[in-house]
Amino acid sequence: MSHWTKNLTDIPTPCYLIDTSQLKNNMAVIETIKTSTNCHILLALKGFATYHTFSSLHSTLNGVTASSLYEARLGLEEFKKDIHVHCVAMNPMEAKQFNTLGTHISFNSKSQLQLFLKNVAKVKPSLGLRINPEIGESPTEKYNPCGQYSRLGIPISQLTYSDFDAIDGIHFHALCEQYTPALFQVLEKIEQRLGPSLHHLKWINWGGGHRLTDPQYDIQALIAKINEWEKKYDVQIIMEPGEAIAKNCGYYVTQVLDIIKNQKDTAICDISATAHMPDVLEYPYRPEIINASIENDYKYTYIIGGNTCLAGDIIGSYSFKEPLKVNDPLIFTDMGHYTIVKTSNFNGVKQPSIGMIKESGEIKMIMNSSYFNFKERLS
């Protein structure tokens, strides 16, 4: 890591940096799963869509998952492989466009499937239904796709055998940041409820939320389960991990603009939780900073705050071995997934620029933020 942190002088802040070496390491893990099974693994664009990196992913991944027309078009233009669509709801005009863009579509309800069939003259993609297994695991209920009153997928208790007549596959997304035990519980529930119907399918999409590239993830157990299901039901197993693809691949570089003293010291940075890393407020979670620790662990503790008028635009409290000074850089880790895709221009703060860290340590900028990024969103 240190070989590239010396090259920060000339990059604009705030700035996301994508580490191509770590992305390559993650792909090696995915490749192990691919070569040991017949499964397909997709890039979920809702989590990571920095298309300048797609050349590093293309040879390993089978395509992308798109949740909207814009994502589907981006996948078609930049990834140029399978486009798996899951849109919570679409109108008739969108249905016609998805029919052209997608290779697979998983509908969120039976009525959405019927709307599609009514408005499309000749069906091109392979069609499926998203189901809600009515069991799921997530660190927080807000991110539980199968929580109470969930709007995502058809409750498994509402499915009938006839629902499988017009489809090739089913899709479930029941996990968030989970390992194999949680997945296996979901699979067991699906087998208990739908067992005989699974034999009539061509593919089953196990969705996302799998921490495949986490060192603690039991890859061999996953491989065995994929092979078991593909043989038992003669289906194509599909996975679309969001976080796992870009895990630990991203950094977010900011600099200290001011130090505010009000009972506690606050470092104001050219950063924003609400505009650049909203999961800090929504999830919530606390990102790590290189060479920093938890509050009061080191001698000097600061609240790290954003540069907007939102009173709660706070990233958290961190301690440092040396006092912070204006213009000091701070580097947040694991900032690749669910960050760049969620940015906004609240308060007119500029979009972070984006760069790529080459294996040599050289930083190549691929997008420099400008006023026009802000203006074009407002019309």
Q: What are phi and psi of 274, to 5 degrees?
A: -70, -35
pLDDT of residue 123: 96
- Which residues have C-beta within 8 Å of that of residue 3, sequence separation ≥ 6? 361
Whether residue 45 is found in the same domain as residue 175: yes
Whether residue 207 is found in the same domain as residue 280: no
Residue 356 lies in a domain: yes
Three-state DSSP class for 121? coil
Task: List the beta bridge partners of residue 262.
Answer: 264
Contact between residue 200 and residue 164 where contact means Cβ atoms under 8 Å apart = yes
CA distance to 34, 47, 228, 271, per residue, from 260 (Å) = 51, 34, 59, 15
* pLDDT tens by residue, 303-340: 999 999 999 999 999 999 999 999 999 999 999 999 99
Instruction: List alpha helices for the chain, DSSP H.
Output: 2-5, 20-36, 54-57, 69-74, 92-101, 110-119, 180-198, 219-233, 243-246, 273-276, 279-282, 371-378
Residue 32 lies in a domain: no
pLDDT of residue 9: 78
What's the rounded Cα separation, in Å, for the pair 237 and 202?
9
Residue 324: give the domain boundaries: 2-17+250-335+343-378
User: Closest Cα to residue 145, out of 191, 205, 92?
Assistant: 205
What's the rounded Cα separation, in Å, for the pair 254 and 270?
6
**What's the mean pLDDT in 5-12?**
80
- Name the domain boundary from 214, 229, 246: 246
Whether residue 273 is found in the same domain as residue 324: yes
Whether residue 182 is found in the same domain as residue 169: yes
Q: Helix axis angle, 180-198 relative to 219-233, nearest 10°?
A: 0
**What's the mean pLDDT in 147-163?**
92
- Name the domain boundary from 246, 268, 297: 246
Whether residue 261 is found in the same domain as residue 177: no
- Name the domain boundary from 221, 246, 271: 246
* pLDDT tens by residue, 15-48: 999 999 999 999 999 999 999 999 999 999 999 9
What's the rounded Cα separation, in Å, for the pair 219 and 28?
12
Q: What residue type is 63 in one-letter code?
A: G
- Which residues have C-beta within 8 Å of that of residue 363, sequence separation ≥ 6? 4, 7, 8, 11, 17, 355, 356, 357
Region of poorest pLDDT, from 278-282, 287-291, 297-301: 278-282
Residue 25 lies in a domain: no
Contact between residue 64 and residue 341 where contact means Cβ atoms under 8 Å apart = no
Cα within 13 Å of Cα(300), Cβ side = 14
Whether residue 259 is found in the same domain as residue 242: no
Whether residue 302 is found in the same domain as residue 159: no
User: Closest Cα to residue 266, out of 219, 321, 227, 324?
Assistant: 324
Residue 151 lies in a domain: yes
Contact between residue 41 and residue 33 where contact means Cβ atoms under 8 Å apart = yes
What is the pLDDT confidence band of residue 2, given thresholds at 50, 70 and 90? low
Whether residue 234 is found in the same domain as residue 283: no
- Token pair 């300048």 is found at 52
* pLDDT tens by residue, 50-83: 999 999 999 999 999 999 999 999 999 999 999 9
Q: Rounded mean pLDDT of the chain?
A: 94
SS (H, E, C) 318-377: EEECCCCCCCCEEEEECCCCCCHHHCCCHHHCCCCEEEEECCCCCEEEEECCCHHHHHHH
Residue 66 lies in a domain: yes
DSSP 131: E
Residue 148 lies in a domain: yes
- Compute CA 263 distance to the chain's CA centroid, rounded to the nearest angstrom: 38
Domain count, the chain: 2
Task: Supply the CATH number for residue 265's domain.
Answer: 2.40.37.10
Task: Supply the CATH number for residue 80's domain.
Answer: 3.20.20.10
Whether residue 215 is found in the same domain as residue 97: yes
Residue 30 lies in a domain: no
User: Closest Cα to residue 101, out of 93, 109, 111, 113?
Assistant: 93
Residue 28 lies in a domain: no
Out of 144-153, 286-295, 359-368, give the one with best mean pLDDT.
Answer: 286-295
pLDDT of residue 242: 85
Whether residue 130 is found in the same domain as residue 44: yes
Contact between residue 287 and residue 2 where contact means Cβ atoms under 8 Å apart = no
Whether residue 211 is found in the same domain as residue 270: no
Whether residue 94 is found in the same domain as residue 57: yes
* pLDDT tens by residue, 102-132: 999 999 999 999 999 999 999 999 999 999 9
Top-confidence residue, 284 or 189: 189
